[in-house]
Amino acid sequence: MNAVYLRNPLRPLNGITLTRGDDVELSVSIVEPGQTGATLKLTAMLASEFPNGIPRISKSGSDFTIQVDGNTLSGTVSLNSIETVFVLERSKFVYDLERTVGGKKKTIEKGEFFVDPDVTP
């Protein structure tokens, strides 16, 4: 059975543009049986450094707030302002979001997003 992945309609990650130094909360819902004990991991790196670069954003474990209600896993993670402070010009990032249940990993989503520099110092 394939998981049904539902992004937060107000803040989907794929294709969006963030602003350097902003605090952003991202939410995900995954509908699939047997998700008790699941963990999530978000990894992002500059597209210009992919695939051999170092992750610029890495969130896992206690970085996520996860709740499982029946077949629905709801997860929330915050990207803090410090995580994009190095962006000095419009930059494209590639990312993936993985879920692990019972030692089995599955990529829930992968894609790209942009970070623009801010005007206010």
Give tens-digit pLDDT for 6-43: 554 444 578 889 999 999 888 888 889 999 999 999 99
CB-CB neighbours of 40 under 10 Å: 22
Q: Is 118 helix (H, G, I), strand (E, B) or coil?
A: coil
pLDDT at 9: 43
Boundaries of every domain in the chain = 4-116
Residue-wise burial string across 90-116, b where 16 or more C-beta atoms lie within 10 A, e elsewhere: ebebbbebbbebeeeeeebbeeebebe
What's the pLDDT tens digit per position in 42-79?
999 999 999 999 999 999 999 999 999 999 999 999 99
pLDDT at 14: 83
The whole-model pTM stands at 0.87
Superfamily for the 4-116 domain: Immunoglobulins (2.60.40.10)
